């Protein structure tokens, strides 16, 4: 991306939807615009875990307004991510389909681990590199992300299903905040965080930072109460205790917080209880706010992909190493598949074949479980592994490619309806067949064409005589495609 290029991120949180836009200026991102709306999607889950029509309508309407600000931006300059509410909803498609139509761009549902990674990237890029071990906490509407790291490297990450909206609904749903109900809320929050205290206790870090609305609000209230000295925005136990005393002993209309917005006041008790429980469980004495979080992390990640620093590459490499993939064979299949794709398309750029490359690199991950049905094992691993940088939909797509590497094709009929993806599936399957001996054979001198309906294969008799088993396997492969209604023209 060149200087002047504009990037945008959309954060579909459980409490608020946010949009941020920035311009690239000499390698730095300069904020141009920021806007948020309190959608409270997390409060729109019914007793069965489905998003209600009213919640869907609120969210879609908000994204329709966001779309006006994104008008004219290319797809590679915009990334929209959804978090806990859509992770937990039983009917995410009921929201995603109209939401993507309203926004005009794809929306990714990211895992809790991926959310934590992106939050840390946003925070780390806003802080100086002081080489101190940091605890980073982000309390959202439906989840709380926890990260311990040094500079830009995250060492431990977790996502807990507790947030300001969900905790408010659980303990203060009637709007009453009593000393007794607040105490119960703090104890319940502490119990949640104690489950992971062995990874995030104060003995494992030197300084604590918090990000996003809940922590920003509590920091501002501590400042308004002037409990830590003039100009201090640090969150302390004493400060939170005083805020708790105020909100449990008086009507919200009488709270001495004139700058507290009504939407944030509605979830203040839940958010404060979550943070106080966390302080107890991890022995936190003080926390500084950081005004950078998920959306900034998404933007940094988006910029990194364009500049060749794609964290997904690192995830694929780690996955292959963990599952003891035969690296030489993976690269062999990758090279063959790219050669074949170049024959099909006339030319091919790596950026346009990234999914084929990743599928080739991971097609044997399932062998660590069993050779029998390893493509199915690989599908399961890829769908359920924590792959930094990948959304749920992206992991599912990669898993489906790996599943389709062998056997019948009816299991992936949806992918075959896309001619470009069908070409990649063909090239992956043929490459695996041609590399069956696990030796470097090189791509055959042949003609391969595929438009989604007709496969054309031309290869001289010399090659067939030299590699009779490969020729036989290819004949079997063509029959598989014929069963899907594809015409085969082979000579």
405 assigned to some structural domain = yes
Q: What CATH number is attached to the domain comprising 199?
A: 3.30.420.150
> What's the chain's average pLDDT?
91
pLDDT of residue 342: 93
Q: What CATH number is attached to the domain comprising 362?
A: 1.10.3210.10
Do 106 and 131 fall into the same domain?
no
pLDDT of residue 439: 84
Report d(CA 304, CA 80) in Å as an integer. 16
What is the arithmetic mean of pLDDT over 242-262? Answer: 90
pLDDT of residue 300: 87
pLDDT exceeds cutoff 60 at 308: no
pLDDT of residue 25: 78
Report d(CA 54, CA 289) in Å as an integer. 33
Do 23 and 48 fall into the same domain?
yes
pLDDT tens profile 116-150: 999 999 998 888 788 899 999 999 989 999 999 99
In three-state form (DSSP H/G/I as H, E/B as E, the rest C), the secondary structure along the chain is CCCCCEEEEEEECCCCEEEEEEEEECCEEEEEEEEEECCCHHHHECCCCCECHHHHHHHHHHHHHHHHHHCCCCHHHEEEEECHHHHHCCCHHHHHHHHHHHHCCCEEECCHHHHHHHHHHHHHCCCCCCCCEEEEEEECCCCEEEEEEECCEEEEEEEECCCHHHHHHHHCCCCCCCHHHHHHHHHHHHHHHHCCHHHHCHHHCCEEEEECHHHHHHHHHHHHHCCCCCCCCCEEHHHHHHHHHHHHHCCHHHCCCCCCCHHHHCCHHHHHHHHHHHHHHHCCCEEEEECCCHHHHHHHHHHHHHCCCCHHHHHHHHHHHHCCCCHHHHHHHHHHHHHHHHHHHCCCCHHHHHHHHHHHHHCCHHHHCCCCCHHHHHHHHHHHCCCCCCCHHHHHHHHHHHHCCCCCCHHHHHHHCCHHHHHHHHHHHHHHHHCCCCCCCCCCCEEEEECCCEEEEEECHHHHHHCHHHHHHHHHHHHHHHCCCCEEEEC
Residue 251: pLDDT band (50, 70, 90) is: confident
304 assigned to some structural domain = no
- Asked which of 149-158, 203-212, 437-446 is least confident by mean pLDDT, the reply is 437-446
Do 337 and 437 fall into the same domain?
yes
pLDDT of residue 120: 94
Do 64 and 132 fall into the same domain?
no
pLDDT exceeds cutoff 60 at 230: no
Do 265 and 406 fall into the same domain?
no
Closest CA to 51 of 17, 12, 94, 110: 94
Residue 253: pLDDT band (50, 70, 90) is: confident
Do 265 and 146 fall into the same domain?
yes
Residue 307: pLDDT band (50, 70, 90) is: low
Which of 236, 259, 291 terminates a domain? The answer is: 291
pLDDT of residue 30: 82
Report d(CA 66, CA 371) in Å as an integer. 49
Do 64 and 193 fall into the same domain?
no
Do 366 and 226 fall into the same domain?
no
pLDDT of residue 320: 93
pLDDT of residue 394: 86
12 assigned to some structural domain = yes
pLDDT exceeds cutoff 60 at 231: no
1 assigned to some structural domain = no
What is the arithmetic mean of pLDDT over 243-255? Answer: 91
Q: Which residue has the higher pLDDT, 185 or 467?
A: 185
Do 132 and 278 fall into the same domain?
yes
Contacts of 154 (CB under 8 A, 6+ apart): 116, 117, 120, 121, 124, 147, 148
pLDDT exceeds cutoff 80 at 322: yes
Report d(CA 401, CA 379) in Å as an integer. 8
pLDDT exceeds cutoff 60 at 415: yes
Residue 1: pLDDT band (50, 70, 90) is: low
CB atoms inside a 10 Å sphere around CB 211: 26
pLDDT exceeds cutoff 80 at 305: no
- Asked which of 182-191, 229-238, 368-377, 444-453 is least confident by mean pLDDT, the reply is 229-238
Do 354 and 265 fall into the same domain?
no
pLDDT of residue 369: 95
482 assigned to some structural domain = no
Q: What CATH number is attached to the domain comprising 93?
A: 3.30.420.40
Residue 261: pLDDT band (50, 70, 90) is: confident
Residue 212: pLDDT band (50, 70, 90) is: confident
Range of the domain at 267: 127-291
Q: Which residue has the higher pLDDT, 116 or 230?
A: 116
pLDDT exceeds cutoff 80 at 426: yes
What is the arithmetic mean of pLDDT over 221-247? Answer: 84
Tokens 């500049």 found at: 307
pLDDT of residue 306: 61
Do 284 and 352 fall into the same domain?
no
pLDDT exceeds cutoff 80 at 45: yes
pLDDT of residue 254: 87
**How many Cα atoms sit within 13 Å of 206 on the Cβ side?**
7
296 assigned to some structural domain = no
pLDDT of residue 213: 87
Contacts of 486 (CB under 8 A, 6+ apart): 452, 453, 454, 455
Which of 110, 142, 158 terminates a domain? The answer is: 110
Residues in the chain, how many?
491
pLDDT of residue 435: 93
Q: Which residue has the higher pLDDT, 329 or 465?
A: 329
How many domains are contained in the chain? 3
Q: Which residue has the higher pLDDT, 75 or 386?
A: 75
462 assigned to some structural domain = no
Question: Alpha carbon 292 to chain centroid distance?
Answer: 17
Do 173 and 281 fall into the same domain?
yes
Query: Burial level of 371, CB count in 10 A (0-12/13-18/19+)?
Result: exposed
C-alpha triplet 205, 294, 379: angle, nearest 5°:
95
pLDDT of residue 393: 78
457 assigned to some structural domain = no
**Left if phi > 0, otherwise alpha if psi is -120 to 50, otherwise beta: which for 475?**
alpha
Rg (CA), the chain: 26
pLDDT of residue 490: 87
pLDDT tens profile 336-363: 999 999 999 988 887 789 999 999 999 9
In three-state form (DSSP H/G/I as H, E/B as E, the rest C), the secondary structure along 31-66 is EEEEEEECCCHHHHECCCCCECHHHHHHHHHHHHHH
Which of 262, 291, 320 terminates a domain? The answer is: 291
């Amino acid at each position: 991306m060149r200087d002047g290029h504009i990037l945008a991120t959309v954060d579909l949180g459980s409490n608020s939807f946010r949009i941020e836009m920035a311009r690239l200026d000499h390698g730095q991102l300069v904020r141009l615009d920021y806007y948020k709306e309190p959608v409270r999607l997390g409060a729109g889950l019914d007793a069965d875990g489905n998003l209600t029509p009213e919640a869907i309508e609120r969210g879609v309407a908000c994204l329709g307004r966001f779309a006006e600000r994104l008008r004219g931006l290319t797809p590679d300059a915009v990334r929209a991510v959804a978090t806990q509410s859509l992770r937990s909803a039983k009917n995410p498609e009921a929201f995603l389909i109209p939401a993507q139509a309203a926004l005009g761009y794809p929306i990714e549902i990211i895992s809790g681990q991926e959310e934590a990674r992106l939050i840390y990237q946003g925070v780390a890029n806003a802080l100086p590199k002081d080489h101190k071990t940091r605890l980073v906490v982000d309390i959202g509407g439906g989840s709380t992300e926890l990260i311990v790291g040094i500079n830009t490297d995250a060492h431990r990450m977790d996502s807990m299903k507790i947030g300001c909206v969900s905790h408010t609904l659980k303990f203060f749903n009637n709007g009453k905040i009593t000393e007794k109900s607040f105490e119960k809320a703090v104890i319940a929050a502490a119990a949640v965080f104690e489950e992971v205290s062995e990874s995030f206790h104060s003995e494992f870090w030197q300084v604590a930072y918090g990000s996003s609305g809940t922590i920003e609000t509590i920091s501002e209230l501590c400042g308004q109460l002037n409990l830590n000295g003039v100009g201090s925005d640090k969150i302390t136990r004493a400060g939170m205790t005083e805020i708790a005393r105020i909100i449990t002993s008086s009507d919200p209309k009488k709270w001495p917080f004139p700058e507290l917005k009504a939407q944030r006041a509605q979830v203040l008790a839940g958010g404060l209880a979550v943070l106080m429980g966390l302080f107890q469980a991890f022995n936190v004495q003080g926390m500084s706010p950081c005004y950078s979080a998920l959306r900034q992390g998404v933007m940094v990640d988006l910029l990194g992909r364009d500049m060749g620093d794609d964290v997904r590459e690192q995830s694929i490499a780690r996955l292959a190493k963990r599952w003891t993939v035969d690296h030489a064979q993976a690269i062999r299949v990758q090279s063959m598949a790219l050669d074949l794709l170049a024959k099909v398309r006339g030319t091919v750029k790596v950026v346009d074949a990234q999914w084929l490359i990743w599928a080739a690199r991971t097609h044997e991950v399932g062998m660590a479980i069993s050779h029998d049905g390893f493509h199915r094992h690989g599908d399961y691993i890829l769908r359920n592994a924590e792959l930094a940088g990948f959304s749920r939909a992206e992991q599912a797509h990669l898993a489906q490619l790996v599943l389709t590497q062998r056997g019948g094709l009816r299991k992936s009929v949806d992918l075959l309806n896309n001619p470009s993806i069908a070409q990649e599936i063909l090239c992956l399957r043929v490459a695996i067949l041609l590399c069956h001996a696990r030796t470097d054979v090189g791509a055959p001198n042949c003609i391969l064409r595929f438009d989604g309906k007709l496969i054309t294969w031309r290869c001289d008799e010399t090659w067939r005589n030299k590699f009779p088993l490969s020729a036989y396997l290819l004949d079997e492969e063509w029959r598989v495609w014929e069963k899907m209604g594809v015409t085969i023209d082979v000579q």
